Structure 1
């Protein structure tokens, strides 16, 4: 459970442990020390004279460090401990543990401080699916360093343990100590990871392209002022987690971008990084720049059935573990996402609107044009004007290549899973928005008005065709998709809210969509369900068929804001922000879809990632909505606050953008 574990992360490394600082992983348990999709330590347990210690306190420090305050067990409340142990841990391409023992008693102590260790080198997919290893483990010792290793054909991973002064066995390291009264002993253990035999990595591989330390990161972000104290805490948590999730996914890369989420998705996901960057633009615009450049560098240039790739397509996922290496999962980079490419174009335009960075827009022009070509040539599988998806790698490729990418997420009202190829509604909205935005870039920066006019004309045709074929007049909402037989999938889902965000919805349809989105079937009181209650496929704890995803609700609120439905946008925003206080002010990947009146507190989805990138970005997007922040054509920042009754005063000081830095202040009219 989240309140029983401690997680720290930096870059591609993270550690999940208990409140003692210990972990011992079962085959399908996501605890341990991980680096680049591989678990480099699966057991790390501290014993004092053979006994487990008791916890006084445990806490994270910033995001990449933790401290654990422990005492010897006495077995009774009537005897106080006389020995304390402090463990300080840092993660950075490995792990460093500092130890401090204090003898508070009046007698000398003979002590054995022992760490029990193991490394199963499990791929993150093996952990998630409870799979067995296929290679061979090995161990070797040299002076005060012990190496745990794993080989399979040409694939190799190692963990190097260094503990000066310790005695090693194949499964433990022990410090043997004599501690006089009032004495303090200090020690240190270094855990290094290696991607090749006998080549442990140093602590850091790159110079940061954005502020590295947390104080620097905070100093670059706007300062919040509000009378809603919980909102301050949620904002602070989001800024910290954005810093924590930055990593360098490519060898010799100078660009960092957000990983999708801990523990299952500490990797590049195109749509996740793009949506997170969009959410964070008024706060840390550099995140969008580095994300756009990093994804452009990996844009597909050829057809590759194994990777579901075509020229111009933006990647879905980049994995670096054993199963991707051997093709047991889609080889990386994998391109099985039909929405990451239009999202790339949306974020590219939005980035320029906020920053005025024309140089990057011109630099990425070839990539943007290639993305448009992909949408029009490769994304439209049958020439009907819609972007569909169907994997060409049916053994291991993703069946669903929209943001709801579980196998059963696109489902008919009778619970029949839709067959591919599938054209989901929100992807058509993204494509519409991408065409409009790219037309603006072509007209304003690339000196190609003819191309811009053609893109605008294509967008108009898409909007008309979409409304004709996806609208369900009897139900008053859009089908979630067209299936492989071009039949509408007439299930009521949250996807219709993304259509408002993209702007593809005609004005006369908006009222009906809003009624559905804010009605009890979809809106739980904490957020918008992915699939409406009362339908046969609905399950409040099904990954995409009834849960509530914070980023999903935030994008829907942004869509309501776009169409001037500020009151409804505020209702969703406040509900989601109120949920945050119940989960340590850190919104998880997803909540269960139970109604608020039934639970009183939000229920976290059982295997939700936390922190998770676009859930972390959701409160930032909601702040933009509450204050009505929009860049203007005159290089200024529009501020149009519309505060809910929950907030009397809200201000962001020092919002970065093409205007330099600006303040946004909102005051509730009755307070």
Structure 2
């Protein structure tokens, strides 16, 4: 789990271009399929627990009966392990061949997503008594990967290999003879650190997966809630376990499967914040991990500046070859203030002064980045440049980071440097929280300075972003001071941070729930009244559950439990209407009355960390336990 995962279609088959077995940003197998001499039909797919899945297959019905039944109990731990059971349901002996079809290109995740890399790969194959190993070790890069497939409980296997340019395909075949009513079990191990005894490693994986799930359930129970939330919260709870990455600094949540199964700055921070009601250990691990990778030098290619918190870190071949900047990449304007927010909130909830003392130097450096290194508009607003041109660099560096994530109502693009609304709120919140932390660390003068800076940020924000004709805040302000007057969810995050004046809060809340914004399932990223609106776009009219959960927390912060409940209940019902009790990364922004179900976006991550944690944040909002503002500091 975490950075090790298997992606298949809904029947457990590798039928789509991105399916396969992945480990640490590389697809080790793009083909992994099981067959017998007769066709197999998918009967049931059961997600038993995080890291364990059970597939039931059978031969076609003949005169009302099936001859063979195949069960595949799969476990994902530090590899993929299967307990294959083939059963003869007939009254006669059956001879059949069990075949595993395998294929690999060792393609980098960025290549799977569409990036073209001009690389020639030679994949070596080692055959051994119980299976085979694919190995890739280019001579011109400090990078290597391997994957081994081994079987047990079969007398003899036949291996056929077809190697060609940039890929290898193979089959492992075992002949089986089954007496009437007999079942045969064949353990399979797919490992990334050399061949392993399949039967033994299967048992280890079974115990690892089940113990992990039991420990998580017992040690980190789901918060108290009303009965209608049970199934959605249980799914959320399991998804958070699936996405955990163990690190030397403690656990951190991978952003999402399949595309973002790695540590992110913004995503991991927000998901850890949303999950604080279940586990503070995730937040501590996140803070420590991100603090350990905090930038200490300038590097334009990676958008690194001293004190900055990373955006994304990768470890695939393209990263090793420096063809992408993710080693790590720091192209985010918001992860650094959000880091301060998470450290403070974790300390506030746990009272762990040792944790604060440990992270305080990182907090200081993050706050120094805001004052000394961060880009600003002429009006002093925290901003980012729109001129990033390097491979892998992002044009937009707030959470709406697609190429058209921020646009004018007519769809035209801003230019120059851009200050987005929610980032001003994050800075305000970081400095207010930073002031309390500084006071706790005995740095009273620093605390006083931070409070004054926070108030200036609040004043600048309101003056620059407020649209009096709309009674709402602009999504962004360009370098020269021109507002981008699109109506979006971004100002809802400003409610969460507390930067919105009390006198304007109700107007902001009410606009977010207006028909142009609220679909019945959730709040659209962009108003349906704008020409740029597209309900099936990434950021221009879709619904993002994490976005909505942050807005709900903000609504509750300003005493609007009615609005928070409306948003929370919409998301809850969306998860239930999808049939799996899970919220995806995003879904389409169509009206609920027109679709009856939340329409899929199509390429969304699922599970995805901040979507999985969104129900937990919504629960906080509707239970009246939203984020509390920092205490006033006396000087």
Instruction: Normalising by structure 1, report the TM-score.
Output: 0.87
1:87 aligns to 2:86 (yes or no) = no
Instruction: Give the alignment partner of residue 146 of structure 1, picking from 123, 132, 151.
Output: 132
Distance 2:29 2:316 in 1: 15
- 1:46 aligns to what SS in structure 2? strand
Q: Which runs of 5+ in 2 are unaligned?
A: 162-169
Instruction: Give the alignment partner of residue 137 of structure 1, picking from 111, 122, 128.
Output: 122
Distance 1:631 1:512 in 2: 21
After TM superposition, the structure 1 = structure 2 runs for residues 99-110 of structure 1, keeping only pairs within 5 Å, are 99-110=84-95
After TM superposition, the structure 1 = structure 2 runs for residues 327-342 of structure 1, keeping only pairs within 5 Å, are 327-342=322-337
1:124 aligns to 2:109 (yes or no) = yes
Distance 1:382 1:520 in 2: 34
Distance 2:624 2:311 in 1: 31
Distance 1:609 1:87 in 2: 25
Name which of structure 1's ranges 56-65 and 481-490 shifts more when overlaid on structure 2.
481-490
Q: Which runs of 5+ in 1 are unaligned?
A: 1-9, 636-671
Which residue does the alignment assign to 2:149?
161
Contact 1:307 1:393 in 2 (8 A): no
- 1:135 aligns to what SS in structure 2? coil
- 1:56 aligns to what SS in structure 2? strand
1:60 aligns to 2:47 (yes or no) = yes
Instruction: Give the alignment partner of residue 401 of structure 2, picking from 399, 405, 414.
Output: 405
Instruction: Give the alignment partner of residue 350 of structure 1, picking from 345, 351, 356.
Output: 345
- Runs (4+) of structure 1 exceeding 4 A deviation are 197-206, 223-227, 630-635
Contact 1:92 1:204 in 2 (8 A): no
1:247 aligns to 2:252 (yes or no) = no
- 2:494 aligns to what SS in structure 1? helix
Name which of structure 1's ranges 308-317 and 579-588 shifts more when overlaid on structure 2.
579-588
1:211/1:176 CA distance change after superposition, 3 Å: closer
1:456 aligns to 2:451 (yes or no) = yes
The one-character-per-residue Cα deviations of 1:380-420 (angstroms, maximum 9, x if unpaired) are 34564221112775222111000000011111122111113
Which residue does the alignment assign to 1:505?
500
Contact 2:136 2:144 in 1 (8 A): yes
Which residue does the alignment assign to 1:550?
545
Distance 1:599 1:150 in 2: 48
Which residue does the alignment assign to 1:438?
434
The one-character-per-residue Cα deviations of 1:119-168 (angstroms, maximum 9, x if unpaired) are 12121221111646623232232332312233442232221111244221
Contact 1:19 1:68 in 2 (8 A): no
1:602 aligns to 2:584 (yes or no) = no
The one-character-per-residue Cα deviations of 1:533-571 (angstroms, maximum 9, x if unpaired) are 010111001101110000111111111111111111111
How far the C-alpha of 1:213 sits from its partner, in A, is: 1.5
Contact 1:302 1:310 in 2 (8 A): yes
- 1:259 aligns to what SS in structure 2? strand
1:237 aligns to 2:225 (yes or no) = no
Contact 1:64 1:90 in 2 (8 A): yes
Which residue does the alignment assign to 1:31?
19
Contact 2:9 2:15 in 1 (8 A): no
When the two chains are superposed, the root-mean-square deviation of aligned CA atoms in Å is: 2.6
Which residue does the alignment assign to 1:73?
60
Distance 2:88 2:203 in 1: 36
The one-character-per-residue Cα deviations of 1:270-310 (angstroms, maximum 9, x if unpaired) are 11111011111121111111110111000000101111000
Name which of structure 1's ranges 384-393 and 511-520 shifts more when overlaid on structure 2.
384-393
How far the C-alpha of 1:203 sits from its partner, in A, is: 9.6
How far the C-alpha of 1:593 sits from its partner, in A, is: 0.5
Which residue does the alignment assign to 1:181?
180
Q: How many residues align?
A: 611
- 2:430 aligns to what SS in structure 1? helix
1:499/1:607 CA distance change after superposition, 3 Å: same
Contact 2:149 2:195 in 1 (8 A): no
1:590/1:634 CA distance change after superposition, 3 Å: closer
Distance 1:489 1:192 in 2: 51
Name which of structure 1's ranges 307-316 and 505-514 shifts more when overlaid on structure 2.
505-514
Which residue does the alignment assign to 1:13?
4
1:575/1:630 CA distance change after superposition, 3 Å: closer
How far the C-alpha of 1:37 sits from its partner, in A, is: 1.1
Distance 2:365 2:226 in 1: 47
Instruction: Give the alignment partner of residue 385 of structure 1, picking from 365, 377, 380.
Output: 380
Instruction: Give the alignment partner of residue 426 of structure 1, picking from 410, 422, 425.
Output: 422
1:52/1:420 CA distance change after superposition, 3 Å: farther
The one-character-per-residue Cα deviations of 1:212-248 (angstroms, maximum 9, x if unpaired) are 621221122345555533x100111111111110013
Distance 1:273 1:410 in 2: 22
How far the C-alpha of 1:254 sits from its partner, in A, is: 4.2
Contact 1:532 1:546 in 2 (8 A): yes
Which residue does the alignment assign to 1:43?
31
Which residue does the alignment assign to 1:565?
560
Instruction: Give the alignment partner of residue 13 of structure 2, picking from 17, 22, 30.
Output: 22
How far the C-alpha of 1:115 sits from its partner, in A, is: 1.1
Contact 2:377 2:480 in 1 (8 A): no
How far the C-alpha of 1:361 sits from its partner, in A, is: 0.6
1:122/1:522 CA distance change after superposition, 3 Å: same
Distance 2:86 2:320 in 1: 43
